[in-house]
Structure 1
Amino acid sequence: MGRHTGPVCRLCRREGTKLFLKGTRCDTPKCAVDRREGMPGMHQFRRGKSSEYAIRLREKQKVKRFYGIFERQFRKYFYEANRKAGNTGDALMSLLERRLDNVVTRLGFAVSRPQARQTIRHGHILVNGRKLDIPSYLVKPGDQIAIKDREHSRKLIATNVAEGAPPVPEWLDRISSDPPEGRVSRLPSTQDVGLPVTPQLIVELLSR
């Protein structure tokens, strides 16, 4: 499983928006987007107006970094969305939202997607009662996401929930049980995405 090993705050500054790559830290005054203006790099204020290609590229990079995936995997999602009936951009965002690491984050079981991926890989998450250690697994309506019923898993998730879990989106339900559980009530739509993005710009870029 590939992952970004560099300073993630630079990624947020480059895209000009909070990608919540450090979880709750992004809501504090320590957030680099709030503390430092402009993009990272020596010549940040010398760059001129962005071209049409650059605008579309930045939308794609923003989505990739938000969900923590690389180019090859992102294109696989695009090709799968392109084969579906209806709007390709909406289908693409729905596929990305359905990733298990994103669902674990949105349910509040992890404070960030990188932490959610680690939690899944270490076997703390159950899907429909069975351990699943694949962060890219696509959930379906009716799936039950639960925490493994053992002391270490319960303590880990309890800490994350105690730090202030975000509001759960409408397409998910969080059940206040012990250990906590979640349920997928329906497929997500573009309006359920927690990131300001224009999917059509990404479709135009990748359709060239």
Structure 2
Amino acid sequence: MARYTGPDCKRCRREKTKLYLKGAKCDTPKCPIEIRPYPPGEHGRARTKESEYLLQMREKQKMARIYGVLEKQFRNYFEEASGQQGKTGDNLLRLLESRLDNVVYRAGFAASRDMGRQLVKHGHFTVNGHKVDIPSFRVSENDIIEVRASSVESTPFVVARAQVGERTVPAWLEVNPDRMMILVHGLPARQVIDTAVQEQLVVELYSK
């Protein structure tokens, strides 16, 4: 399976904004974008002509990188979103937010989506009592996600319990840190998703 194996911080610098791919490091002075707030590479400081197409492409890349999906998978999400009722951009964000790795991150059980993806792949979670190790698994309303009993005392989850309350959990999720359980009340509307992207630019790019 194709996957990105390069430095995450280069991705933030390419988009000229923090994508919060490295968890707590992103909020410290050691964050590379604080030190070098320009794109990587020999010509990173050069002024580029920002065409309409470039703005749309950069926004698409930013959204895909935030949620950790590659081009083919992102295109599939877009096609599914465009076939649903409502605004395609809103539907696209809702599909990305419903990924299990994102839900684990939003609930505070992982410091980043990348860490959430790793925890899911290692089989630490069940959904409605069934073990799930697929990060792109789509959660639904009233799903119950739990850390497996054999994993509760693992270091990542001990740390997560100690840090309860440090990050705001969105209203569409309910977290029980004592039982290491997440209840999905429903998928979020666009206005409650705090991902800083302009999804309409992505719709315009794929609609050409």
Q: With structure 2 as the length reference, what TM-score do the two structures score? A: 0.94
Q: Cα 1:121–1:129, aligned 2, differ >3 Å: closer, same or farther? A: same
Q: Does 1:102 align with 2:102?
A: yes
Q: Does 1:38 align with 2:42?
A: no
Given residue 13 of structure 1, which amino acid in structure 2 is its aligned partner?
Answer: R
More displaced stretch, 62-71 vs 41-50: 41-50
Q: Which runs of 5+ in 2 are unaligned?
A: none
**Can you list the C-alpha shifts for 1:155-179, whole angstroms capped at 9, x where unaligned?**
231223435652101111111323x
**Can you list the C-alpha shifts for 1:97-132, whole angstroms capped at 9, x where unaligned?**
000000001101111111111111111011111111
Residue 9 of structure 2: aligned partner: 9
Identity of aligned residues (%): 48
Residue 140 of structure 1: aligned partner: 140
Q: Which runs of 5+ in 1 are unaligned?
A: none
**C-alpha RMSD of the superposition:** 1.4
Q: Does 1:207 align with 2:207?
A: yes
Distance 1:170 1:67 in 2: 20
**Can you list the C-alpha shifts for 1:24-44, whole angstroms capped at 9, x where unaligned?**
111111111112121111112
Aligned length: 206
Residue 173 of structure 2: aligned partner: 172
Q: Cα 1:154–1:2, aligned 2, differ >3 Å: closer, same or farther? A: farther
**Can you list the C-alpha shifts for 1:57-109, whole angstroms capped at 9, x where unaligned?**
01100001001100000000000001001100000000000000000011011
Q: With structure 1 as the length reference, what TM-score do the two structures score? A: 0.94
**What is the DSSP-based 3-state SS (H/G/I as helix, E as strand, rest coil) of the residue aligned with 1:131?**
strand
Distance 2:182 2:2 in 1: 27
**What is the DSSP-based 3-state SS (H/G/I as helix, E as strand, rest coil) of the residue aligned with 2:7?**
coil
8 Å contact 1:19–1:66 — kept in the other structure?
yes
Stretches of 4+ aligned residues off by more than 4 angstroms: none
Residue 123 of structure 1: aligned partner: 123
Distance 2:101 2:126 in 1: 12
Given residue 100 of structure 1, which amino acid in structure 2 is its aligned partner?
Answer: L
Given residue 189 of structure 1, which amino acid in structure 2 is its aligned partner?
Answer: A
